[in-house]
Amino acid sequence: MCVIDFSLKTSAEFTPQVDRLIQLALEEDIGRGDVTTQALIPPEKKGAAQVRAKERLVAAGLPVAARVFMKLDREVHFLPMVREGQEVEAGAVLAQLRGPVASILTGERVALNFLMRLSGIATYTRQVVAAVQDFPVAVVDTRKTTPGWRVLEKYAVKVGGAKNHRFGLFDGVLIKNNHLTAVGSITEAVRRARQQTHQLLKIEVEVADLKGLAEALAAGADIIMLDNMADADLLEAVKLTQGRALLEASGGMTLERLPQVAATGVNCISMGALTHSAPAVDIHLLLVS
């Protein structure tokens, strides 16, 4: 829901779940062993490396990359050189590493995969937030995330400056079109939701037109998702609502369209592209000694 920020504040909050994801990634990549590194690099050889940005980006995921090396070999020391959420230019050193060269090389790709994906989301999110900075509107993410990565991808959205929508099916009522088809009407769906859930849960209803908006308002919905509406209809929806519910614009959102949608006066804009379409950024690791 756009009024409830379920944002993840620190990397420590997602450690147990991320540990499982990191372990899976390491098992996937290393398998029975890093045959190249084992053949070429003596286990006692020590060295240093740097993680560098190859393009302008917003850094996100450095604690996750550090944890990759911690799980692989505690003798590898990972020192972040920038803050989470810091915008850096191409060539910037994001982190320095010291320790067994073999372990650094074996963990390189897994650590970079996390960094490139999460920094990509944070970078794109920062661009989206900048596009509506002159309007009193919140940009929120959706559940359109990579399976298993949701906690990390929503974390990266927060690092980029946007807010988190509900995390899953368990932390907010959102009555969508298929629920309405099954129940029969917005009025009945809201009634059942009020009856079956506790009073602290906000109730959000998805509508596709102004008629649905009117019914949702009459039913007492707390938040109304205006799905795939034209800008003119969004403007009319704001006028009709008169502050009786919070309005969330959703569907068909692009970076170019965002200022026009924000100008209609909706309270928040949900954008699945923050997580499902953000391109990874280019980051590499180089041995320096």
As annotated, the active-site residues are 109, 144, 176, 206, 227
* CA–CA distance, 177 with 143 (Å, rounded to integer): 16
Neighbours of 98 (CB within 10 A): 17
Q: Return all residues near 119 (Cβ < 8 A) that are at least 6 apart.
A: 57, 58, 59, 60, 61, 156, 280, 281, 283
From 246, 279, 271, select the one nearest 141 (Cα to Cα): 271
Exposure letters 180-203 (e unless 16+ CB within 10 A, then b): beebeebeebbeebeeeeeeebbb
Long-range contacts: 238-243, Cβ < 8 Å, 24+? Answer: 238/264, 238/265, 238/266, 240/210, 240/213, 240/214, 241/213, 241/217
Copy the structure tokens of residue 4: 């409830």
Residue 287 host element (H or E): strand 283-287
* CA–CA distance, 4 with 164 (Å, rounded to integer): 8
